[in-house]
């Protein structure tokens, strides 16, 4: 963190491509020791309470695993918006963020949904996750669009994310639901 009024926030999912909040600065960034997984339920954005969608969280990985995303330097009051946006089982977690444009590492926060939250869906067969994503919809749109927008954004960053890209291939093979 930079001081009491500004904080770095690392985005690894929709925060990469859906930037609906003000920021002071942004940078392509990465964190180590974590990887993306579609193991979190979405009752409020990409699904409903009766039929939750599947969205990303981070899971621990090997210390040399790099998760590429975007970091935003924000004013403290922006957390009111972000906390509401990431409310369904997510909590803020401290992380070390490598800012690629400055070749520097800073302290910051990311939103993390652990296995003990009420919206946790957990691991499943990749084909089952793809089918689940393909048919889920919520107030923020289709779960399929969330996945496809993410995959496109990750390619734009030059990321290589086996989990996301394999899900993308499987969802595209299923056709539009």
Q: Could you give the 3-state DSSP secondary structure of residue 164? A: helix
For the record, the structure tokens of 56 come out as 């990303």
Active-site residues, by number, are 86
| Residue 62 bridge partners (DSSP) | none
Contacts of 50 (CB under 8 A, 6+ apart): none
58-63, Cβ contacts within 8 angstroms, sequence gap of 24 or more: 58/12, 58/34, 58/110, 58/112, 59/34, 59/35, 60/33, 60/34, 61/33, 61/34, 61/35, 62/33, 63/32, 63/33
């Amino acid at each position: 963190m930079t001081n009491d009024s500004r904080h770095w926030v690392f985005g690894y999912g929709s925060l990469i491509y859906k930037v609906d909040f003000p920021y002071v600065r942004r940078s392509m960034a990465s964190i180590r020791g974590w990887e993306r997984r579609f193991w979190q339920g979405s009752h409020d954005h990409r699904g409903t309470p009766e039929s939750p969608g599947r969205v990303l969280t981070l899971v621990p990985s090997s210390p040399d695993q790099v998760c590429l995303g975007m970091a935003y330097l924000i004013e403290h009051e922006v957390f009111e918006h972000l906390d509401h946006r990431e409310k369904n089982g997510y909590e803020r977690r401290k992380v070390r963020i490598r800012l690629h444009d400055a070749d520097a590492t800073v302290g910051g926060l990311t939103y993390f949904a652990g296995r003990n939250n009420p919206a946790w869906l957990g691991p499943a067969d990749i084909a089952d996750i793809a089918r689940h994503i393909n048919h889920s919809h919520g107030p923020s749109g289709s779960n399929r669009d969330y996945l496809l927008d993410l995959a496109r954004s990750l390619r734009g960053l030059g990321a290589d994310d086996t989990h996301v890209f394999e899900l993308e291939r499987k969802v595209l093979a299923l056709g539009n639901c």
